[in-house]
C-alpha cells in the first residue's frame, strides 16, 4: 500500500475515477490550474484537460445548479465548494433540486453528483472558514452525507460517493488534510506518512457508504464520533486508560445504526462527540436514536461533547474546539452515571 496524506488520497480517488469513467468531471473555484485552495485537485487539469477540470465563477448557487444539470444529463460531476461555510447560497439548489430529483421525476432522472467541501476548524479560519454544517444536510431526505477521518477512508468513501446514483455531500475535515490531530494544538504536528491510517490502497478502492468503523474496542463506554473528533476520542481514551468502543461513523446518512446499537447494548454508556454546535447538532439525533434503540441497556444518560452555541471564534478557537480535556470530562460523567453537562 502507498502512504498518503488525505489531500493525496482525495486527489487519487478523483484521478482513478476520471481515468475509469469519462463522465466524471471536476469543477469549482480555483480547482483547475491552481489545483484547489488545499491542492486536492492539483495536476488533474493538466492530465484531463480544461473540459473535464475547470474553474468556475465565485457563485455557489451556480456551481451547484450546473452540477445538477450535468448529473441529470448523464454526467457524474464532482463540484467543490471551497469552504463548507460558503455552501449556503447553493443550499436551496441542493435541497430543492438535487435531493428531490429522483422522487419528483418518479425515477426518470437522478442526480449522481458529489459536492466536496472542507469543514471544521483548527486552522485559525475564524467564523467564516471553520463551520461544520453537516446536520443541515442529514435533515434532507434524498441526500447522503459523508465525513472521513483518515486518508484510506477518504479515498474509499469518495470512490463510493462518485459511483453512487444519488447526490452525496462529502465533508473533508481540513485539519486532517495533512496529518491526524488529537486536539492538542500546542504539540508538534504529525504526518499521515507515519500513521497506520495513512496507508491507502492503490487503484480503485471502495469503502461502502453506511458502514461505521470501530477503531478501539472495549466494554466500559461507547464513543460515537466522526471527522477530527475521532482522533480526539482515541487520545482521550488512551489518557484515561479505559476500555472503550470508539466508533468512527464515517457516513452520517445513511447511518450504521446496527453498529451503534450493538456497541451501546454491550457497554451501557454512550458519549457523542462532534465539532459542530450543540443545539440541533447531529449529536442530538444520535442521542435520540441511542435512547430509543438502547433504552433498557443504558446505565447512564447519554453525554454530548460538542462545539458551543456561538459562531466559531478566531481568538478563542481552542476554547470552542471540543478537545481531549472536555471529552475526558464527558466520558467521566458517563462512567459516573451523571446527567449531561449543558452550558
Could you say which of 103, 124, 129, 314 is catalytic? Answer: 129
Cβ atoms within 10 A of the Cβ of 188, count? 5
| Cβ pair 6, 192 in contact under 8 A | yes
Q: Can you give the three-state secondary structure of the chain, one letter per residue? A: CEECCHHHHHHHHHHHHHHHCCCEEEEECCCCCCCCCCCCCCCHHHHHCCCCEEECCCCHHHHHHHHHHHHHHCCEEEEECCCHHHCHHHHHHHHHHHCCHHHHCCCCCCCCCEEEEEECCCCCCCCCCCCCCHHHHHCCCCCEEECCCCHHHHHHHHHHHHHCCCCEEEEEEHHHCCCCCCCCCCCCCCCHHHCHHHEECCCCCCCCCCCCEEEECCCCEEEEECCCHHHHHHHHHHHHCCCEEEEECCEEECCCHHHHHHHHHHHCCEEEEEEEECCCCHHHHHHHHHHHHHHHHCCCCCEEEEECCCCCCCCCHHHHCCCHHHHHHHHHHHHHCCCCCCC
Residue 139 among the catalytic residues: no
C-alpha to C-alpha distance for 188 and 186, rounded to whole angstroms: 7
Residues with a catalytic annotation lie at 129
Amino acid at each position: 500500500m502507498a502512504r498518503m496524506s488525505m489531500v493525496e488520497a482525495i486527489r487519487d480517488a478523483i484521478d482513478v475515477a476520471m481515468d475509469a469513467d469519462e463522465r466524471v468531471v471536476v469543477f469549482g473555484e480555483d480547482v483547475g490550474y491552481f489545483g484547489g485552495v488545499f491542492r486536492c485537485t492539483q495536476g488533474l487539469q493538466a492530465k484531463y484537460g480544461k473540459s473535464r477540470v475547470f474553474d468556475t465563477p465565485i457563485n455557489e448557487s451556480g456551481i451547484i445548479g450546473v452540477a445538477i444539470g450535468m448529473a441529470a444529463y448523464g454526467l457524474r460531476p464532482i463540484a467543490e465548494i471551497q469552504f463548507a461555510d460558503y455552501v449556503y447560497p447553493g443550499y436551496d439548489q441542493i435541497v430543492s433540486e438535487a435531493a428531490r430529483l429522483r422522487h419528483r421525476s418518479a425515477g426518470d432522472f437522478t442526480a449522481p453528483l458529489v459536492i466536496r467541501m472542507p469543514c471544521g476548524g483548527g486552522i485559525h479560519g475564524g467564523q467564516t472558514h471553520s463551520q461544520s454544517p453537516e446536520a443541515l444536510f442529514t435533515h434532507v431526505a434524498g441526500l447522503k452525507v459523508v465525513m472521513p477521518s483518515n486518508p484510506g477512508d477518504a479515498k474509499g468513501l469518495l470512490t463510493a460517493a462518485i459511483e453512487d446514483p444519488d447526490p452525496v455531500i462529502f465533508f473533508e475535515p481540513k485539519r486532517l488534510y495533512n496529518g491526524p490531530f488529537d486536539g492538542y494544538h500546542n504539540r508538534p504536528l504529525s504526518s499521515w506518512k507515519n500513521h497506520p491510517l495513512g496507508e491507502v490502497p492503490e487503484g480503485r478502492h471502495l469503502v461502502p457508504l453506511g458502514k461505521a468503523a470501530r477503531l478501539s474496542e472495549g466494554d466500559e463506554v461507547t464513543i460515537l464520533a466522526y471527522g477530527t473528533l475521532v482522533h480526539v476520542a482515541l487520545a482521550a481514551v488512551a489518557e484515561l486508560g479505559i476500555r472503550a468502543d470508539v466508533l468512527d461513523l464515517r457516513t452520517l446518512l445513511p447511518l450504521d445504526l446496527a453498529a451503534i446499537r450493538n456497541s451501546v447494548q454491550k457497554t451501557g454508556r454512550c458519549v457523542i462527540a462532534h465539532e459542530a454546535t450543540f443545539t440541533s447538532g447531529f449529536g442530538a439525533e444520535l442521542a435520540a436514536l441511542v435512547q430509543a434503540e438502547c433504552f433498557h441497556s443504558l446505565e447512564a444518560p447519554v453525554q454530548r461533547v460538542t462545539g458551543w452555541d456561538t459562531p466559531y471564534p478566531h481568538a478563542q478557537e481552542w476554547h470552542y474546539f471540543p478537545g481531549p480535556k472536555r471529552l475526558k470530562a464527558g466520558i467521566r460523567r458517563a462512567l459516573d452515571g451523571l446527567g449531561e453537562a449543558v452550558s
